[in-house]
A and B are shown apart, each in its own frame.
Chain A
Amino acid sequence: MTDQALTARHGGDWRYWFGEQRGTLLALAVFIAMFAIYTSNHPAGFSADVVTTAANKGVLLALVAMAQTFVVLTAGIDLSVGFIFILCNCLASHIVLGSAIQTTFGVIGVLAAGLACGALNGAIVIYGRLQPIVATIATGAAFYGIALLLREQPGGDVNEALADFLTNQFPGGIPASAVALLVVVLVIWIPFRKSMLGRVVYAVGSSESAAYMSGLHIRRAKFIAYALGGLLASIGGLFITFVTYTGEASLTNANTYTLNSIAAVVLGGVSLFGGRGSAIGAIFGALIFRTIGDLLFVFDLDPLWQPLFLGVVLLISVCLGSFRLIRIRNRLDLFG
């Protein structure tokens, strides 16, 4: 390989990078535009308090959307994320309490529970060979049942010092929850994306047969993707406990978070066919989804408009994603 050929090629690199990140960048741009409109019309303007409130609400869905991303990348779907989220909320309201050491063990316990839920999903889907959609509806119902046993009535408590620390502001008005989300991205997502494991997950989602023929451990990678999904949902569950100071086995919340996580993933440019997209895109997808509701609020529109408006936005974004179908030249490929 000559250096000449190398340098000749460097010019084109950004183009491929852009092509790969297009969905994420588009979601980022849309979010920035919407958030700018929101804050400029908010009575308090672009203040630290407004941003912190928005961040606290947005981070919850962002974490659940990240959880969904891991599974969707394998070309699967997890309809139990919202239930793991709620289960971990109820669990946290029991065990994330007391002294620093007790609280630490509590947090570890909640994360372990989420990981176990995700691992159970993975085991059923991969080793039990059930379809993800059915398997996770069933496990979701079971997780909700456990959540109800833990918290028949809303209640419980959480270590307030920790909760306040993670939901307030750092010096300079930076929302702590956004920093926490950044830490999650740096500690979990980036290593995943850059590791062999992440590579295999993308390969499996893109073409399972090609991945198999390349001699990759596809079952192990899919299993870990489901387990990581559970882990991310449990981080979300911890966070809602810090925001609300209670545990509540809310069926409405579980369902809403599950469905919204899928919407956020799509808005963030992650392909439901698998193998394409990024959890960072899903985070911005989640933030967009949240901001739509806030926009309606600052423009004094009736909240009744919100579902209609969200639906239309979602439809448009899905349409943008299906332009590739126009290029297909063998109609049989439309079904594959």
Chain B
Amino acid sequence: MTLYSLLIAPVVDYGFMRRALVASLALALGSGPIGVLLMLRRMSLVGDAMAHAVLPGAAIGFLIAGGLSLPIMGLGGLVAGLSVALLSGLVSRTTALNEDASFASLYLTSLALGVLIVSLRGSNIDLLHVLFGTILAIDSVALYLVAGIASLTVLTLAAVYRPLVAECFDPGFLRAVGGRGPLYHLLFMFLVVINLVAGFQALGTLMSVGMMMLPAAVAQLWARTLPAMFAIAVSTAIVSGYFGLIASFHLGFASGPTIILTASLIYVGSLLLAPSGALRRLFPRPHLAA
């Protein structure tokens, strides 16, 4: 088997592979930076909770559309995700519960509701599709949606970069200069939700968060400035998307988990090799003169 037939031919020969590749590239562009910011805001698990929260909305969309339809399920997921984000904020401000506790309670409620709704009408195969995605069945409507969300994410992040950084680094300063911290927090949560929605056709509701957090963890191991972290996270996600797809094609694996596992491999490699990784501690290099 030549390198061409191994790495290039599947994409050249098959339209569904091309669409899957474009979708995972677009996902990488949006989800990479969002994951880095989630991690820096110490909200890694909030992304996971949100991914679960999206499920009932997607399930209701699934029922209304009478089958897998990304735009309608996406809209449902968006509404469900944003409701959980808003409600957790509200609960933590009006009761003694912390935001992470209310997130946990609400996403579990949401997940149970979602699985119940899907099981009412759909078959187990449908449930598997919603939970774990079908990147190889992406149509052009889904592709436009994913690309649109990626574009919106990148442009919005560019616009609100400064207040987002300020809110994360020194929230007291942002409040003092009259910056509306909660507004940017909400906008950021909105971006998290739409990126999860973009990811769930390709990777499923439960694994779309993998395209955010694994590349972000890799980025944090290698880089020390925010722009470099964004670049590494996006590159990691792109590489995972490409090699994950190719591997799933040749090996006959499900594409979503293969993509995420490829990102996991990069993560494990980085844990060992990165400047702040394990090997550097086992084999320390001599210190510098200044």
Q: Do A and B come from one complex?
A: no
